[in-house]
Structure 1
Amino acid sequence: MLSSKNLIAFSLIAILSLSAIFNPYTNKYLKQLQGDSTFVSKQNGELYNLIVKAADYYQIEPQNAKIDRVWKAMPGYNGIKVDIEASYQNMKKDKKYDEKKLVFVQIPPEVHLSDLSPSPIYRGHPEKPMVSFLINVAWGNEFLPSMLATLKKNKVHATFFLEGRWAKENPDLTKMIADGGHEIGNHSYSHPNMQLLSAAETREELTKTNEIIEATIGKKVTWFGPPAGAFRKETIDIAHSLQLGTVLWTVDTIDWQKPQTAVLIERVTSKVHPGAMILMHPTKPTDEALQTLITEIKSRNLRIGTVSKLMDEERIIKLYGPQNMEQDKKNP
């Protein structure tokens, strides 16, 4: 005796079976109702089952942006899932499983960085295998062309925080930085201690710099890096009202003290990690260390991108290989 629930399902399948003759779209849903085994048996079941297994393995839930107790504002990170049907279509011609042909769908979080209350940002998401170079510029013109050449050679884009007064006096260098594909941020106008400024003075420092940079390169400024990392809550709030996120750093080269190149490299490589933001300036030790830093960071399977790229929610997908899936996922 069929239960009422099973009777309804059986009847629905029977109706769909008849309509499938006339409607190919119905046929698709019929296959789903009949279960994966019937569907798979008609489409190279072994291949399909491998894709289903991979889909289960790679499924990752999104993570919301949040205010962390230590790291303050932290961006969210997309989840992922495998589009089983699209992946199967990619592989069915060759009739063999190819992990590189898996089709992934990114799943956005519900809470984004822009949803959070104004708060400083010290790092990207700790699971994102990317870091950023923050290059504060108020002096050091003689080292910029060489540093830009090294970045270009390695196809690396950084975020340069420019003092407004410097940008006004050096429009050609400002344009050179922008033309290299780098991001430009606001580093105040006159490099004051922002913690000691009035609200009106803070707004003027930020507004003047925004106007100079935007007039020079034709792009709006998104990020603010306070000189020497000095700020108070009002500083963050005013920057936010001007649509600027306030960025600090995770790893400091302390290059303004002109350390030995090897010392600077050790400072960075001993502390760098996914999501890190590395502070530097146009100095001789940084210029000399830059190639080694890029090579070492990339050797750790970390990408180097702008602050905006580090803060976006796009998940960087790592393929594990079927033979090493379990081991690799435990040690991403």
Structure 2
Amino acid sequence: MILPVRRLALLCALGALGAGLTACGTTPAAPRPPHPAPTAHRAVPTRPPTLAPGPAGLPPVFEHGPRTAGKTVALTFDADMTADQGPRAAAGEHFDNPGLIAALRTLKVPATVFMTGRWAEEYPAQARAIGHDPLFEIANHSYSHYAFTADCYGLPTVSGDRMRADVERAYTAFRRAGVPDPMPYFRFPGGCYDGRALRAVSGTGVTAVQWDVVSGDAFATDADAVAQDVLAGVRPGSVVVMHCTRSAAPATERAVRTIVPELRRQGYRFVKVSELIATASGR
């Protein structure tokens, strides 16, 4: 053992005589223990970028990235399904769009999917696959897709005392579906919000994400018209709103196949919303 040898060496140094000195001189040195293998440092996950709260602690509202930080653009897709649409899905209506997701993968386009919790419950395998694909990030679009204000495109409304719970319930649905790291970004159903709605979700820690380019793909059947609306509106730092629902936006996949190569030809780079927010916040 190493400890007794060290004690014996200490006695020698203190002047043990005669045989003690001889013993000290002849005691073989104890083998040094091997250096321990370097400990692998586990990567500490970084917190997704968010914007600082606004006045009175209200969630900030992000519409686009900096216009002077290069030609970047974020395509975002709302995976809408309202809480009461289960019977329609059971009857065969498709609120998903796997062809669109496949096209984005083929084109190697990063994107942010704003998903409702009800959509994740209806299509858990797809939600999980999107959430595990590094090409994409999943953000919150409420659980129910009920509006947070009155008179919002005919959507049912959620009461003020249930708004925060609706946001939190969506995150619970994502976890149950196996989505690993949903982002702390929230898009109001229909994009409709007011001061009351912002106050209601202020405790969730989200950044509200809107857009500055409307694709017009909702209920559109003319893919070329959708593509032209996007191409005419994109500027550096733009956030484009589109949809990931076959029944409500049947032309989106075809439009994307036109939009992506043309914007790349113009020198644009596709990014997720998180990259635009990181640039805006100086991270």
TM-score (norm 2): 0.66
Q: Partners in 1 of 2:122 and 2:241 — Cα distance? A: 23
Whether the 8 Å CA contact 2:221–2:250 is kept in 1: the answer is: no
Name the structure 2 match of 1:308: 274
Runs of 4+ in 1 over 4 A off after TM superposition: 139-143
The structure-2 alpha-carbon separation of the partners of 1:295 and 1:240, relative to structure 1 and needing over 3 Å to count, comes to farther
Number of corresponding residues:
204
Alignment equivalent of 1:160, drawn from 109, 113, 122 = 113
SS at match of 1:211: helix
CA deviation vs aligned residue, 1:234-257 (integer Å, no higher than 9, x gap): 322333321111111111112112
SS at match of 1:151: helix
Name the structure 2 match of 1:144: 97
The yes-or-no answer on 1:132 pairing with 2:74 is: yes
Unaligned runs of 5+ in 1: 1-111, 316-332
Q: Cα RMSD over matched residues?
A: 2.2
Q: Partners in 2 of 1:192 and 1:239 — Cα distance? A: 14
The structure-2 alpha-carbon separation of the partners of 1:297 and 1:217, relative to structure 1 and needing over 3 Å to count, comes to same
Q: Partners in 1 of 2:97 and 2:125 — Cα distance? A: 12
Amino acid paired to 2:167: L
Name the structure 2 match of 1:203: 164
Q: Percent identity?
A: 25
Alignment equivalent of 1:169, drawn from 96, 119, 122 = 122
Name the structure 2 match of 1:190: 144
The structure-2 alpha-carbon separation of the partners of 1:261 and 1:232, relative to structure 1 and needing over 3 Å to count, comes to same
Map residues 90-105 of structure 1 onto 2, 5 A cutoff.
Answer: none
Higher helix share: 1
Amino acid paired to 2:126: L
The yes-or-no answer on 1:241 pairing with 2:175 is: no
Q: Partners in 1 of 2:189 and 2:231 — Cα distance? A: 24
Deviation of 1:177 after TM superposition, in Å, equals 1.4
Unaligned runs of 5+ in 2: 1-49, 82-92, 151-157
- The structure, 1 or 2, with the larger RCO (C-alpha pairs under 8 Å, 6+ apart) is 2
Greater radius of gyration (CA):
2
Deviation of 1:272 after TM superposition, in Å, equals 0.6
Name the structure 1 match of 2:63: 122
The yes-or-no answer on 1:281 pairing with 2:221 is: no
The structure-2 alpha-carbon separation of the partners of 1:125 and 1:141, relative to structure 1 and needing over 3 Å to count, comes to farther
Q: Partners in 2 of 1:279 and 1:307 — Cα distance? A: 11
Whether the 8 Å CA contact 1:239–1:246 is kept in 2: the answer is: no
Map residues 1-332 of structure 1 onto 2, 5 A cutoff.
Answer: 113-114=51-52, 116-117=54-55, 118-128=59-69, 129-139=71-81, 141=94, 144-181=97-134, 182-196=136-150, 197-215=158-176, 216-282=178-244, 283-313=249-279
TM-score (norm 1): 0.57
Amino acid paired to 1:212: A
